[in-house]
């Protein structure tokens, strides 16, 4: 479909995504800069009020879009233009299409995490990737724990797979983005090591690892407090317990 299209821009939307009336206009305005290869809108949960889990996911989306993606966009390098609402420059897509279609993971064709993979390819090719916070797109999120965990596993696999592509970008990235990429990949490992060390201290030494717990809690509270102030939503304070 992309190869046979004739427009300058291509809009990717999931089947369960509902776009605000002005989303296309706002994304097109951002894409006026020819150096931009892709731009994404802000995602919210259309079924936010369905269960406690959908409320938490909606807050996760806010943090991912308005803290992580917004910070990356200041340097023109959003690391994943999310599939539910992303606009691409057709000329850039055409250039990268062969690489995009030849995704393999552990020797097998890969059909997960294609949005992250395509974004990394855009950055490798020298295009900027951007975030448009006022282009709102509502998408359906998992309302029960089983589907949510399976979704997170798919996303974790794609992040792991594309880590190697992202690491090759480090020499070309701004200092902040370099730390961001390293932190995203080392963060889960360091958290696991800290947790195991704390458990070992508790079992072997018989002492409670207060400093480890307090440090993790303080970092979480700072992040969620900033979100609560910016979003003017005190729910983010409670969200720190989930995080």
Q: Which residues of 179-208 are buried (b: 16+ CB within 10 A; e: fewer)?
A: ebbeeeeeeeeeeeeeeeebeeeeeeeeee
Average pLDDT of the residues in 22-30: 98
Q: Identify the band that residue 160 occupies on the pLDDT scale cut at 50, 70 and 90.
A: confident
Q: What is the pLDDT of residue 98?
A: 86
97 against 176, higher pLDDT: 97
Per the structure block, which two tokens stand in for 24?
A: 């296309």
Domains of the chain in sequence order: 9-185 (3.90.550.10)
Residues 6+ positions from 190 with CB-CB distance below 8 Å: none
- Cα distances from 92 to residues 8, 35, 76, 155, 162, in angstroms, run 10, 10, 16, 24, 19
Q: Above 90 in pLDDT, residue 40?
A: yes
Distance CA 190, CA 196 (A): 10
Q: What is the pLDDT of residue 88?
A: 97
Q: What is the pLDDT of residue 32?
A: 97
Average pLDDT value for the chain: 88
Distance CA 129, CA 114 (A): 15
210 against 40, higher pLDDT: 40
| pLDDT tens profile 93-137 | 999 988 887 766 556 656 655 888 899 899 989 999 999 999 999
Burial of 132 (0-12, 13-18, 19+ CB in 10 A): buried
Residue 51 in 3-state DSSP?
coil
**Of residues 201, 225, 223, 204, the one with CA closest to residue 213:** 201
Q: What is the pLDDT of residue 25?
A: 98
Which of 9-23, 75-89, 126-140, 202-216 has the weakest average pLDDT? 202-216
Distance CA 170, CA 177 (A): 8
Q: What is the pLDDT of residue 101?
A: 77
Residue 76 in 3-state DSSP?
coil
Q: Above 90 in pLDDT, residue 63?
A: yes
């Amino acid at each position: 479909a992309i190869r046979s299209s004739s427009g300058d821009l291509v809009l990717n939307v999931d089947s369960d995504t509902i776009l605000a009336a002005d989303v296309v206009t706002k994304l097109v305005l951002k894409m006026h800069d020819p150096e931009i290869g892709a731009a994404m809108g802000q995602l919210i949960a259309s079924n936010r009020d369905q269960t406690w889990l959908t409320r938490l996911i909606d807050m996760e989306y806010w943090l991912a879009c308005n803290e992580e993606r917004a910070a990356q966009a200041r340097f023109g390098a959003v690391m994943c233009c999310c599939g539910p609402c992303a606009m691409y420059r057709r000329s850039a897509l055409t250039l990268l299409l062969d690489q995009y279609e030849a995704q393999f993971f552990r020797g097998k064709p890969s059909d997960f995490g294609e949005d992250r993979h395509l974004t990394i390819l855009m950055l490798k090719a020298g295009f900027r990737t951007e975030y448009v916070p006022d282009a709102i797109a509502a998408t359906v999120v998992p309302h029960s724990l089983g589907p949510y965990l399976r979704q997170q596993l798919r996303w974790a696999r794609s992040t792991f797979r594309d880590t190697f592509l992202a690491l090759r970008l480090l020499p070309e990235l701004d200092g902040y983005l370099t730390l961001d990429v390293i932190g995203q990949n080392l963060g889960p490992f360091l958290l696991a090591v800290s947790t195991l060390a704390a458990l070992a201290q508790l079992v072997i030494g018989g002492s409670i690892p207060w400093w480890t717990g307090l440090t993790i809690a303080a970092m979480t509270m700072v992040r969620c407090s900033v979100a609560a102030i910016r979003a003017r939503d005190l729910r983010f304070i409670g969200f720190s317990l989930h995080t």
